[in-house]
Amino acid sequence: MQKKVIVGLSGGVDSSVAALILKKIGYKVIGLFMHNWEEKTSKCTWIEDSIDAMLVSNQLNIPFQIVEMKKEYKKYVINYMFKEYELGNTPNPDILCNREIKFNIFLKKAIDLGADFIATGHYVNKEKIIKNNKIIYRLSIGKDLNKDQSYFLCQLTQYQLKKSLFPLGLFTKNQVRKIAEKNGLCNAHKKDSQGLCFIGKIKLPEFLQKKILPKKGEVVCINSNSLIYKKKIIFSSLEEELFFLSRKRKYKKSDGKVIGYHKGAYLFTKGQRKGIAIGGYKKALFVIETDVKKNIVYTGFGNKHPGLYNKSLFIKEKDIHWIREDLALFEGEKMDVFSRIRYRQVLQKSKLHKIKKGMLIEFEIMQCAITEGQFAVWYLGKELIGSGIIS
C-alpha cells in the first residue's frame, strides 16, 4: 500500500525539493503550509511564502492546504522567548519551534489526517538500527557540512524520528538547487529565509520592546585583572571545580568603571559586539555578562578578554534530553563526545560528567561566550545523541 507523507512546505526550495524527491520514489505526498505568524510591522513574508508553496504543489500535482497555528506558535515559542529574555537568558526559538510546533503539533495534525510520516527540508540524516532486539533511530549530520541542521533538531524524540523523513540528508545545497532547476520549480532560485523561524528577519530589540519596556541602565567595563579567582579555592573533586567554573559570573561595578548607558540589559547577550553604541575606543567592546535584576551590562575590551571564556558548562537535570535514551549516563558516569554550543560551531572535543544536579560538559579548550538559555548538543562521531539547555 502506498505510504502517505505530509510535507511541511515553507515556500522555500529545500522543502519543495523534499516533496519532489518523495513523490518520485513512490510516496503519496501532500503539501501543508503552516501559518504560524503574522506581523504587519515586520518583514514577515508568509503570504508570499504560502503562494510559493501553493505554486510548487500545483507543479508537483499534489494536494495543498494551509493550516492555522498562530495560537500554538505564540504560546510555545513567542511567549517562551519573551520569558527567557526577561530572565536574562538567550533562547533559541528555532529549536523550540521544531520541538513544539513542527515535530509535535504539526506531526499530530498529520497523523490525524492519516499520514504515515511527515517530512521537512532539513539537511540531516536518519537511520534505523537494531539494538537488543529493539528498533532505535539515529539522527546524524547531513552530507553538506555547511548546511547541516542537526543542531536545530536536537530535542527530537525516538517517536518523532520514527515518524519523520529527511530526503535532503544525502544532498548538498548546490545539488538541491540543480534538482529544482532541472524540474522547473518556480522557487529554484529563491533566496534562503533568514531570521527567526516563521517570523523572518526582524530587529530583535524592537521586537522585544513590544512587551518588555526599555529601561536605562549602566554599561560597565570590567578590568581583566579583577576576574575569577581572588583567593585560593580547594575543590574536593574535578566535578566540583567544573561546576564552580560553569556558574554565571557575578561582577560588581567596583570591578570596573561605568563607560556608558543602554536601554535594557535583556537586549544584550554574552559575546555580543554590535549594538553597544559606545565609541571612542581603539579596541572592540564585547558583552561579557548581563545582570537583568540590576539592569547592568558588563563589557570588556577585545575578543580575548578572559570574561568571555569558560572551561565548562552546566545543564540542569530537568533540561537534559537524550535522543539516544539507551546511551543516557547515570550519576558518576562520564563519556567522551564532541559538542557544540551554537549552530555551525566546529565540533569541540569534550567530556560529559553526569552529576546529581544534572550534566557538566568539560571542554578540551576554553569556549567563548557560553550563553545561558542556548542549547548545548553532543555527538558520538556524526550522530547527535543528546542536548540540553545551558544553565
pLDDT score of 258 more than 90: yes
Q: Does 328 lie in the same domain as 195? A: no
CATH number at residue 19: 3.40.50.620
Is residue 274 located within the same domain as residue 345? Answer: no
One-letter amino acid of 327: L
CATH number at residue 318: 2.40.30.10
Q: How sure is the predictor about 173, in pLDDT bands with cuts at 50, 70 and 90?
A: very high
pLDDT tens track for 109-164: 999 999 999 999 999 999 999 999 999 999 999 999 999 999 999 999 999 999 99
Total count of domains within the chain: 3
Domain membership of residue 210 (yes or no) is no
> Alpha helices of the chain — where are they, by DSSP H?
13-24, 46-60, 70-73, 79-86, 93-96, 106-112, 158-162, 173-182, 204-208, 238-246
Q: Is residue 168 part of a domain?
A: yes
Output the pLDDT for position 229.
Answer: 46
Q: What's the mean pLDDT in 258-282? A: 89
Tell me whether residue 243 is in a domain: no
pLDDT at position 199 over 80: no
- Domain encompassing residue 286: 217-235+248-307
pLDDT for 210: 74
Environment class of 23 (CB within 10 Å of its CB; exposed 0-12, middle 13-18, buried 19+): middle
Instruction: Tell whether 14 and 157 lie within a shared domain.
Output: yes
Catalytic residue among 44, 97, 154, 221: 97
Do 154 and 280 belong together in one domain?
A: no
pLDDT at 206: 73
Q: Are residue 321 and residue 268 in the same domain, yes or no? A: no
Say whether both 97 and 136 belong to one domain: yes
Length of the chain measured in residues: 391
pLDDT digits 0-9 by tens, 294-330: 999 999 999 999 999 999 999 999 999 999 999 999 9
Domain boundary among the residues 257, 291, 307 is at: 307
Do 91 and 191 reside in the same domain of the chain? yes
Q: Is 197 a catalytic residue?
A: yes
Say yes or no: 98 and 194 in one domain: yes
Paired strand residues for 353? 334, 360
Same domain, 158 and 20: yes
In what helix (H) or strand (E) does residue 194 lie, and over which residues does it extend? none
Burial category of 175 from C-beta neighbours within 10 Å (exposed 0-12, middle 13-18, buried 19 and up): middle
Residue 67 lies in a domain: yes
Is 209 domain-assigned? no
Q: Which residue has the higher pLDDT, 157 or 255?
A: 157
Instruction: Answer yes or no: do 146 and 75 share one domain.
Output: yes
Give the C-alpha separation, 69 to 150, whole Å.
24
Q: What is the DSSP letter of 200?
A: B
> What Rg, from alpha-carbon coordinates, does the chain have?
23
Mean pLDDT of the chain: 91
Same domain, 166 and 117: yes
What is the pLDDT at residue 265? 93
Q: What is the pLDDT of residue 227?
A: 61
385 in Cβ contact with 325 (< 8 Å): no
pTM over 0.75: yes
State residue 195's pLDDT score: 56
Which residues does 107 contact at the CB level (< 8 Å), separation at least 6?
118, 160, 163, 164
Catalytic residue (choose from 44, 154, 197, 221): 197
More confident residue, 278 or 55: 55
β-strands 383-389, 375-380 pairing: antiparallel
Whether residue 14 lies inside any domain: the answer is yes
Which is higher by pLDDT, 380 or 190? 380
Instruction: Kindly list the distances between the CA atom of residue 164 and the CA atoms of 122, 260, 283, in Å, as whole numbers in the listed order.
Output: 11, 50, 48
Mean pLDDT to the nearest integer, 53-74: 95
User: Do 111 and 45 share a domain, yes or no?
Assistant: yes
Q: Which of 307, 324, 352 is the last residue of a domain?
A: 307
Give the CA angle between residues 56, 58, 64 to the nearest 5°.
Answer: 85
Q: Residue 196 above 70 pLDDT? A: no
Is 211 inside a domain boundary? no
In a domain, 69, yes or no: yes
Q: Region 212-221: what's the mean pLDDT?
A: 91
221 flagged as catalytic: no
Residue 277: pLDDT band (50, 70, 90) is confident
Please state, for a pLDDT cut of 90, what percent of the chain lies above it.
78
